[in-house]
Amino acid sequence: MRTYTIDQLEEGDIAAINSRLLDLELQAGLEGVYWLPVPKDMLTPLQTEHFEQCGPYCLALEVGPNAVHMELLVRGMGRISCGCLSFAAPSLRDHMIAYLEDLLRDLGIKF
């Protein structure tokens, strides 16, 4: 799996990240797992075509005891398996990494 990881985070940092993600209502139903929504304007043509059946599209973020791991696989919340599920294109990958890093900066977390 392709992932982007930020590690060596402190316990207080992890608590702040979990709190913010819960406030944003991004929880996935498993403790420490969240769905980061993919902007519609960054979907592939196939994902746009499949949006009604397969969307919305998200990336999974796992918050562990001292790290966050963002999977770079675009998942559809409407279907588990479809040809529209794919790894993030470079522009989406860069956007989502910036989103995560901005979230950490907003929380005052140094990484």
Average pLDDT over residues 12-22: 98
Distance (Å, rounded) from C-alpha 48 to C-alpha 18? 30
User: Given this model, what pLDDT does residue 19 score?
Assistant: 97
Q: pLDDT by residue (tens digit) across 47-101?
A: 999 999 999 999 999 999 999 999 999 999 998 899 999 999 999 999 999 999 9
Instruction: Return the domain boundaries, the chain.
Output: 3-106
pLDDT at position 1? 81
CA distance 31 to 14: 13
pLDDT value, residue 80? 83
